[in-house]
């Protein structure tokens, strides 16, 4: 199953995505798909906030699917396509299919669903182990399978019926002795002796296997028809026929059906390798959630798995990226933050500009390629710039950001100020959200030396609303810090109108570090930072400097 044609490049922003990371991913994926003819799919790395949901709904854009892990999955591996066997086919048929396809394992299916597996080892066991003479009847062997195993033809009788009773015997002695060990319902292997053939008829054998293409008289055939006895004629001698006859046993008698080791398309390759290492099989079945067989996978094929390809937008910190990013093939990074900790296996296209929003860079790339975003993508990019720059109030905003946003608004047919008002109102509508949800709606994690800290932020145009949010969030901060393994947590309650932020903090020395960094008195009760509205450009650099001292 060649999956190369289905391969795509994921374009994804950071965990706890904001409007910029989502909208830039969508617009950049559209540009890359158009330029390369290779599918680029925008994904999200976490739950959307209210503001971003509003933007996507307003412009009729589907929410990108979640990308929670970039490690290779079984769906990234080329599967071995094999048709399933019916459980009633003979082990000889299974063996022939294995030889034909040069494989060691075959799935046994019914209506497409996996019932079991038969391996070359299972078939080898049938030759090495000594079975009693009743094995064919115990296994409910079909007469047409018996005929095929001995390369014979059915002269009379129902080839679709089954040997249900009796044993397998070879008629090599005189008629008198034969009558002592041949019983009703037995399968008798014999040669051209008419007395042996008649004896089998007289004792009501269920099947006669006549060897070396010996003649069978019309009289014998007629009696066999009357008694519903199957007669099979084979070119082989009695020794060869007896040797081959066990090959007629159906695979269901030898297949593994209990405790089957199967995998699903979404299973991670690393986890699959661990399971494979503890099992003796060469090939393992892949099934869907309903048990339908999809193909086989081998250890060897896992060595050739292709890494997922990804473009990162609006971040370059490893702890903000999708899990498993270090195992993916990062093709590009488009960002506007400080340089940080993502390492790549090979060289990548890296574009980082000191502007207020990734969307500004994405629009530049449209222009450089002589492309114009369609009205929907223009609206998304415009919304991203409004969000990231707090409608041009943030110190991160550059003249280029505002110029690009207004140009995009013209393409999209929207009015910047009205769109901003609606976005901010939607973003600050946190009714029904838990303290945990509000804490991590817009949250980023950073590492300085051995200190891991996180910064959350809520923007609002209403001072009263920010007071309500403080009441909900403040008592929860210590629990959030502990459960997420952080040394410190800071939470910005940003008032867009007054262009200031109240800062909540939690963790050993968190308060002391902030007071020191902003040269505030030790008896300060409410930490109000006037003119501080940007996490990226104002708060985080100040914190990083304080922690590095």
**Residues 248-253, mean pLDDT to the nearest whole number:** 87
| Tens-place pLDDT, residues 437-494 | 899 988 999 998 889 999 999 988 889 989 999 999 999 999 999 999 999 999 999 9
Domain membership of residue 258 (yes or no) is no
Last residue of a domain, one of 427, 447, 479: 427
pTM exceeding 0.75: no
pLDDT above 90: residue 108 = yes
Q: Does an H or E element contain 391, and which?
A: none
| Whether residue 152 is found in the same domain as residue 42 | no
Q: Where are the beta strands (DSSP E) in 137-278?
A: 141-142, 153-156, 162-163, 168-170, 187-190, 207-210, 230-233
At 6 the pLDDT is 61
Specify which of 78-82, 128-132, 466-470 reaches the highest per-range mean pLDDT.
466-470
| Whether residue 98 is found in the same domain as residue 137 | yes
| Whether residue 101 is found in the same domain as residue 236 | yes
Beta carbons of 88 and 252 less than 8 angstroms apart: yes
Domain membership of residue 235 (yes or no) is yes
| Tens-place pLDDT, residues 328-346 | 999 999 999 888 777 777 7
| Whether residue 330 is found in the same domain as residue 366 | yes
Domain count of the fold of the chain: 3
| Whether residue 99 is found in the same domain as residue 244 | yes
The rounded distance, in Å, linking the Cα atoms of 63 and 57 is: 9
| Whether residue 101 is found in the same domain as residue 231 | yes
Helix locations, 389-433, DSSP H: 399-412, 416-427
| Whether residue 335 is found in the same domain as residue 221 | no
Residue tagged 């009714």 (tokens): 431
Instruction: Indicate the average pLDDT of the chain.
Output: 90
Please report, rounded to a whole number, the percentage of residues in the chain having pLDDT higher than 90.
60
| Whether residue 50 is found in the same domain as residue 99 | no
| Whether residue 181 is found in the same domain as residue 318 | no
Least confident of 123-137, 383-397, 437-451: 123-137
Residue of 526, 508, 439, 430 lying closest to 476 (CA atoms):
439
**Residues 397-426, mean pLDDT to the nearest whole number:** 95
Q: Pairing relation of β-strands 293-298 and 309-313?
A: unpaired
At 461 the pLDDT is 82
At 342 the pLDDT is 76
| Whether residue 312 is found in the same domain as residue 396 | yes
Residue tagged 């999956």 (tokens): 3
Q: Decide: helix, strand or coil at residue 434.
A: coil
pLDDT above 70: residue 1 = no
| Whether residue 338 is found in the same domain as residue 439 | no
Beta carbons of 146 and 160 less than 8 angstroms apart: no
List Cβ neighbours of 534 (8 Å cut-off, separation of 6 or more).
390, 394, 395, 396
**Boundaries of domain holding 166:** 91-253
């Amino acid at each position: 199953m060649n999956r190369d044609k289905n391969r795509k490049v994921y374009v994804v922003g950071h965990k706890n995505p904001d409007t910029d990371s989502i909208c830039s991913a969508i617009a950049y994926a559209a540009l890359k798909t158009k330029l390369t003819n290779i599918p680029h799919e925008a994904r999200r790395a976490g739950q959307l906030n209210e503001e971003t949901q509003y933007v996507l709904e307003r412009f009729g854009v589907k929410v990108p699917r979640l990308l929670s892990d970039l490690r290779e999955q079984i769906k990234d591996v080329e599967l071995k396509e094999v048709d399933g066997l019916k459980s009633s086919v003979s082990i000889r048929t299974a063996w022939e299919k294995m030889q034909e396809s040069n494989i060691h394992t075959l799935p046994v299916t019914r209506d497409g669903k996996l019932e079991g597996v038969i391996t070359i080892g299972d078939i080898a066991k049938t030759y090495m182990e000594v079975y009693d003479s009743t094995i064919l009847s115990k296994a409910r062997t079909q007469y047409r399978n018996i005929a095929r195993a001995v390369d014979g033809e059915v002269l009379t009788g129902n080839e679709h019926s089954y040997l249900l009773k009796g044993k397998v015997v070879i008629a090599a002695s005189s008629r008198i002795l034969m009558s002592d060990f041949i019983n009703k319902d037995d399968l008798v292997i014999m040669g051209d002796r008419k007395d042996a053939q008649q004896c089998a008829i007289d004792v009501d054998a269920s099947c006669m296997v006549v060897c070396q293409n010996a003649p069978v008289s019309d009289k014998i055939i007629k009696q066999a028809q009357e008694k519903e006895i199957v007669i099979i004629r084979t070119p082989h001698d009695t020794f060869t026929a007896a040797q081959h006859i066990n090959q007629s046993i159906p695979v269901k008698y030898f297949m593994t059906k209990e405790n089957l080791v199967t995998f699903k398309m979404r299973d991670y390759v690393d986890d699959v390798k661990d399971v494979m290492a503890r099992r003796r099989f060469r090939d393992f079945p892949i099934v869907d959630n309903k048990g339908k067989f999809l193909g086989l996978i081998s250890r060897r094929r896992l060595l050739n798995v292709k890494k997922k390809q990804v473009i990162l937008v609006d971040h370059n910190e490893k702890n903000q990226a999708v899990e498993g990013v270090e195992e993916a093939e990062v093709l590009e990074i488009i960002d506007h933050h400080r340089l940080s900790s993502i390492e790549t296996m090979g060289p990548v296209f890296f574009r980082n500009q000191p502007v207020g929003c990734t969307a500004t860079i994405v629009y530049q790339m449209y222009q450089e390629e002589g492309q114009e975003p369609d009205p929907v993508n223009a609206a998304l990019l415009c919304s991203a710039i409004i969000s990231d720059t707090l409608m041009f109030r943030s110190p991160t905003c550059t003249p280029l950001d505002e110029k690009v946003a207004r140009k995009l608004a013209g393409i999209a047919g929207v009015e910047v100020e009205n769109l901003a008002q609606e976005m901010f109102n939607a973003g600050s509508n946190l009714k029904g959200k838990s303290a945990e949800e509000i804490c991590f709606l817009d949250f980023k994690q950073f590492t300085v030396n051995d200190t891991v800290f996180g910064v959350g932020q809520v923007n609002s145009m209403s001072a009263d609303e920010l007071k309500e949010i403080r009441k909900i969030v403040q008592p929860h901060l210590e629990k959030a810090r502990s459960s997420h393994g952080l040394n410190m947590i800071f939470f910005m309650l940003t008032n867009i109108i007054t262009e200031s932020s109240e800062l909540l903090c939690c963790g050993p020395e968190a308060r002391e570090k902030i007071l020191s960094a902003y040269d505030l008195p030790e008896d300060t009760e409410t930490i109000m930072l006037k003119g501080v509205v940007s996490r990226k450009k104002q708060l985080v650099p100040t914190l990083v400097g304080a922690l590095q001292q």
